[in-house]
Amino acid sequence: MSSRMTFRLLATVVFVFVAAGLTLAREVTMTYQAKLGEGPELQPGTYQVELIKNQETSEVAFYQEDDLVAQVPVTIVTESEKSNRTEVHYETLDGGRVINQIRVAGWKERLVFREPTPTPVTTD
């Protein structure tokens, strides 16, 4: 294999890994103060959301300005199509808002923090 061909192959591999790494984190805006399922509470604002897939369990990390704000376990449900827009699904429980699930634009995965009751209150 020529050095030119080797360089092209290496450049392609690096590009694929960089592109794959970029798709694991997305920006999500929380409109309301709410708990992440049974986990910690997030304040309204914009967060960088990173999906961490492990063999046995998966987690989602929430960052603001490069600071880790929360990291919680999540159930990943794979949908048949990518989401066209980011949606944060809330419901009211015991007088407070709870985030049940998040659909992130461009992802096939739905992030489930807790199974919703039959009638959700608000969807962003």
Convert the pLDDT of each residue in 26-77 to its tens digit: 999 999 999 998 889 999 999 999 999 887 889 999 999 999 999 999 999 9
Instruction: Check: CB of residue 69 under 8 Å from CB of residue 62.
Output: yes
pTM over 0.75? The answer is: no
Q: Distance between CA 16 and CA 49 in Å, rounded?
A: 21
- What is the pLDDT of the chain when averaged over all its residues? 83
Work out the average pLDDT over 75-90.
94
% of the chain beyond a pLDDT of 70: 73
Strands 87-93, 25-30: pairing kind? unpaired
Q: Which pLDDT does position 5 carry in this prediction?
A: 60
pLDDT at 21 over 60: no
Instruction: Check: CB of residue 30 under 8 Å from CB of residue 88.
Output: yes
pLDDT class for 23, splitting at 50, 70, 90?
very low
**Could you state, in order of their start, the residue ranges of all structural domains in the chain?**
25-123
pLDDT class for 2, splitting at 50, 70, 90?
low
4 or 44: which carries more pLDDT confidence?
A: 44
The dihedrals phi and psi of 105, each to the nearest 5 degrees, come to -55, 130
Distances (CA, A) of 87 to 10, 20, 31, 92: 37, 22, 11, 17
Q: Distance between CA 64 and CA 40 in Å, rounded?
A: 15
Q: Distance between CA 83 and CA 86 in Å, rounded?
A: 7
